Amino acid sequence: MSSIEHAHALVAEAGRVATFTGAGLSAESGIDTFRDPATGYWARYDPAELASPAGFAADPGLVIDWYNHRRRTLAAAEPNAAHRALAEQADLTHVTQNVDHLLERAGAQRVLHLHGSIGLDRCHRACGYEERIDISAPPGLRPCPSCGAPLRPAVVWFGETLPEATWIASVEAISAADLLLVIGTSGVVYPAAGLIDHARSTGAAVVVVNAEPIRAPADVAVIGSAADLVPMILAGRRVGQADAGPGSDVW
């Protein structure tokens, strides 16, 4: 049996399925991943430095410009075949590290954004101010209207803690799953990547779809393009009853 047939069979026989996704899911929509080589103007900068409190302290305008570049790219992007195939499965809960909303744009209902949303700004001092922005025409660096500290994207940076309610909902969704479908993540950023180990420890099957092998406790790893493989793996799956589970958190 090929790896894709194996993955298809596991998904077909699983009742509850959850997904855990990363930047590779959106790569074929034209959104740069974090750890694959980038091209163009922003390739000279390291995302791990820009997406950090230290990077923001060193040059807040640069960090906002980088996010606004990503926002404008996202505004012009479309969900790809993998997003669409996932969204067709109404009973799935999606735990994503992606700060885009391409799963929701494809029609997915239950998306938990572990690393926040690029469509929101919030106060960097965390006074509680939050604002939805137009990602096609994002504002530049500006002060919080409530307390004067700088505003920043409402995303989780390196070294910051994950949103607690989203983390708890994600652990619950994965604890309840018979199978975790891991798509397009290098699986190296913790605590998010620990959800793969958690799925395994609760007895769920783990299916990985990624452009290259990753270190994860998978029953089967299918190597290749998410947009090609995800629709094949989900083809013919009987969509279960969507229960009252968590709705999407930020979009």
Q: Which residues bind ligand APR (CB under 6 A)?
A: 22-24, 27-28, 33-36, 47, 51, 97, 115, 184-186, 189, 210-212, 214, 225-226
Listed residue (194, 5, 200, 15) closest to 93, CA to CA: 15
Using an 8 Å Cβ cutoff, are 82 and 168 in contact?
no
For the bound state, the minimum distance from the C-beta of residue 197 to ligand APR, rounded and expressed in Å, comes to 15
Nearer CB in complex with ligand APR: 5/36: 36
Is the Cα torsion angle 95, 87, 118, 124 positive or negative in sign? Answer: negative
Annotated catalytic, 83? no
Minimum distance of ligand APR from residue 191's CB (angstroms) = 11
Least distance between ligand APR and beta carbon 72 (Å): 19
Minimal distance, residue 212 CB to ligand APR, in Å: 4
Q: Cα separation of 199 and 228, whole Å?
A: 25
What 8-state DSSP symbol labels residue 27?
Answer: H
d(Cα 210, Cα 29) in Å, to the nearest integer? 15
Contact present, 100 and 92 (Cβ < 8 Å): no
Give the CA distances from residue 21 to residues 25, 97, 143, in Å, rounded to whole numbers and listed in that order: 6, 6, 33
For residues 179 and 226, which CB has a smaller minimum distance to ligand APR in the complex? 226
Specify the residue, 16 or 181, whose C-beta has the smaller distance to ligand APR.
181
- By C-beta, is 177 or 214 nearer to ligand APR? 214
Please tell me which residue in 8, 113, 115, 124 is annotated as part of the active site: 115
The catalytic residues are 115
